[in-house]
Amino acid sequence: MEMEEIVEEETSGKHENMVEITVKTIGPARPSSLHVPSSIKVLDLRKLIARKNHLPVENLKLILQGKVLHDRADEDDIYVRFNDGDSLIVAVKPKAPVGLDIDDDDEDLKFQLPQSTSQWKKKLYSFLRNRMKLPVHIPSSMKILGSFLVPSMQMQ
| Short-list 73, 8, 65, CA closest to 40 | 8
CA 138 distance to own-chain centroid: 24
**Nearest-angstrom CA–CA distance, 97 and 102:** 10
Q: pLDDT tens digit string along 58-80?
A: 889 999 998 999 888 777 889 99
Q: What is the mean pLDDT of residues 111-116?
A: 73
pLDDT: is 139 or 131 the higher one?
A: 131
Tell me where in the chain the CATH 3.10.20.90 domain(s) lie. 4-92
CA 133 distance to own-chain centroid: 18
**Nearest-angstrom CA–CA distance, 103 and 100:** 9
Question: What confidence score (pLDDT) does residue 147 get?
Answer: 57
**Nearest-angstrom CA–CA distance, 52 and 88:** 15
For the cut 70, the answer to whether the pLDDT of residue 83 exceeds it is yes
Question: What confidence score (pLDDT) does residue 154 get?
Answer: 46
Q: pLDDT tens digit string along 9-49?
A: 444 444 469 999 999 988 878 898 999 999 999 999 999 99
pLDDT: is 146 or 64 the higher one?
A: 64
The reported pTM is 0.52
pLDDT: is 101 or 71 the higher one?
A: 71
4-92 classified as CATH 2.60.120.10: no
